[in-house]
Chains A and B, each alone.
Chain A
Amino acid sequence: MSNLSNYSLSDLVKGIKKKDFSSEEITKTFIRNSENSTKLNTYITKCFDKALISSKNFDKKKDFTGLLPGIPIAVKDLFCTKNVKTTAGSKILHNFIPTYESTVTKKLWSEGAFLLGKLNCDEFAMGSSNETSFFGNVTNPLGDKLVPGGSSGGSASALAANLTPVSIGTDTGGSIRQPASFTGTVGLKPTYGRCSRWGIVAFASSLDQAGPMTKTVEDCALMLQAISGYDPKDSTSVDIKVDSYNSNLTDKVKGLKIGIPKEYRVENMPPEIDVLWKNGMNYLRDAGAIVKNISLPHTVYALPTYYIVAPAEASSNLARYDGVKYGHRSKGNSLIEMYENTRSEGFGDEVKRRILIGTYVLSSGYYDAYYLKAQKVRQLIKNDFDKAFKDVDAILTPSTPSAAFKMGDKKDDPISMYLNDIFTVPVNLAGLPAISVPSGHDKNKLPIGLQIIGKPFDEQTILNLSLAIQKRANFKRNIKVWWE
């Protein structure tokens, strides 16, 4: 039997149902790989003993009614897990043990999966390289000193290194799709409202969404089906039917119209990205789709808009960390001094930058000039997409303007770090679904992904188009285990 950790989720589910192998065998394989992965620093909390017990319990009483029978899954440490430490990659939550379970993880467990561990991420999901975590940098299994992207860097790295069969991340400005692109994996940000945000540590509430990170498009469809749906605990989750994304999955995309936005051709983009994009158009043409040029004229304003809206929401959301009810507390002679010291010691540099920017743009005298202005431009960005989707069924772009970069390369320059998300951020501002599918390599043989953006709640179409690309790109991750 070949190594089970190379299997896709879909093949693991099939094998478990056919009784080719047990949940315990699968779980032991992923635990072994995870225990030997210290150099990658993907785990913040390991739940291996409990996972092993869960797998044995599953094998004793096999239940195949769920979508994920007997599957161990490690998740981003931004999802609250009942009685399991949840840190959001921050010192201020280093000892926080939730009394409740996030809706999205609860849904995974109700489909037969169980928790393998909590994965590293940028502090409060603020970062594009996983260099802002209090628990240290995560390494990309594709190369030592290479970033895995962020903020769901631990999830992407663990998945690519075969430490977990699938993972879930969160995406506020590209935090699922960019690390997926950097590690040669599939990552999907659902439509805003498709999945419940309840129990996810909040960053920017009008932008945050949970989503699957997987090895294949088929796995992505399966996971999306498992985590989607209305939740009375999140009034922004939307009550519309969840499709059987996996059983409806098809690469028959003949006649679909695909838009190519000219504004996504940016300066200094490596030529390989342009080649990748052209290849993507050819794959879809080959599958019978119609490729046409479109314009999203306000694209260049998306990042500046994001860096007003997201910090503004973050500064409000993170006001709750005051050292009183949970988390880290510093000493102080007065209540105010205690707050100020707690937040100074508890938050890292990037989180402080964003809280301060957010406080500034919301403060008296500046609100209209910055926050209100940004909300107006956000409307213009959304209008661009609404107009484009009258003509096309989906939009094809590169996922990122480059492949994974070296640790430290962009750490001291916030703006150059922010530019990583140039292709992913507009999607969050408009609340749309988008997927990154691995499609090629740059000149250093590092993976790069293509992004497909869909109409609201039309995840099925972008999954189908991704499958058509996956079948034609013949992408290989080519990861050699060097970290054990």
Chain B
Amino acid sequence: MSIDKDKVKHISKLARISLDNKKISSLSKDLSSIIKFVEKLNELNTNTTKPLTSIINASLKPRKDEIKDGKIRDQILKNSPEKNEEFFVVPKVLE
């Protein structure tokens, strides 16, 4: 299946990435060739195959839900592009 420009626009909307028209054209070409490449899998009949869900045989080991490295709010906030006291600031959401 080819990925036309409308489909690229739709996916980029879902992925929250803005694209100009030039980029949409080049991506339509690239993504179509990648999808064509992966469609090789259609040669295989997998009707009776169960999908792989985990690569390790061991069961996942639960641990206690404890805070071990808390109390670093201010350090974390330092990485924020915009903050106000102890809050992250984003563009206005509600009018």
Contacts and interface: CB of A to CB of B under 8 A. Distances in A.
Interface of A: 95-97, 99-100, 192-193, 206, 230, 232, 235-236, 238-240, 298, 300-301, 303-305, 307-308, 315, 322-329, 332-341, 343-344, 347, 352-353, 355-357, 359-361, 363, 370, 372-380, 382, 414-415, 418, 430-431, 456
A338 B90 contact: yes
B38 A304 contact: yes
Given A340-B18, A347-B17, A99 B75 contact: yes
Contacts of B16: 322, 336, 339-340, 343
B87 to A, nearest CB: 11
B11 A360 contact: yes
Contacts of A239: 58, 61
Contacts of A382: 52, 55
A235 B14 CA distance: 30
B55 A327 contact: no
A147 B46 CA distance: 39
B67 interface: no
A238 B31 contact: no
Contacts, number: 164
A193 to B, nearest CB: 5
Question: What secondary structure prevails in chain A residues at the interface with B?
Answer: helix
5 A-B pairs with least C-beta separation: A375-B51, A431-B55, A329-B81, A326-B79, A340-B18
Nearest to A322: B16
B88 A325 contact: yes
Given A335-B93, A357-B31, A373-B46, A415 B37 contact: yes
Contacts of A230: 61
Interface string B1-43: 0010001100110111111000000010011011101111111
B82 interface: yes
Given A235-B62, A324-B88, A344-B18, A379 B79 contact: no
Given A193-B58, A332-B91, A376 B79 contact: no
Interface of B: 3, 7-8, 11-12, 14-19, 27, 30-31, 33-35, 37-44, 46, 49-53, 55-58, 60-63, 69, 72, 75-76, 78-82, 88, 90-93
Contacts of B88: 324-325
B79 A96 contact: yes
B15 A376 contact: no
A307 B34 contact: yes
Nearest to B74: A99
Nearest to A233: B63
Contacts of B58: 193, 238-240
B82 to A, nearest CB: 7
Specify which of A95, A303, A307, A376 lies most central, judged by the most chain B CB atoms within 10 Å of its CB: A376
A307 B40 CA distance: 11
A109 B14 CA distance: 41
Contacts of A414: 30, 33-34
A352 B72 CA distance: 32
Contact of B34 (A95, A343, A357, A456): A357
A353 B34 contact: yes
Given A335-B93, A336-B16, A357-B31, 14 more contacts: A193-B58, A206-B55, A232-B63, A236-B56, A239-B58, A301-B40, A334-B93, A340-B18, A356-B11, A356-B31, A360-B11, A372-B51, A375-B53, A377-B49
Contacts of A326: 79-81
B41 A301 contact: yes
Contact of B11 (A363, A372, A418): A363
A235 B65 CA distance: 12
A327 B79 contact: yes
Given A193-B56, A344-B19, A356-B31, A329 B69 contact: no
Given A193-B56, A235-B62, A324-B80, A335 B91 contact: yes
Contacts of B55: 192, 206, 382, 430-431
Contacts of A415: 33-34, 37
Contacts of A324: 80-81, 88, 90
A96 B7 CA distance: 33
Contact of A325 (B12, B18, B75, B80): B80
Contacts of A379: 49-52
B27 A352 contact: yes
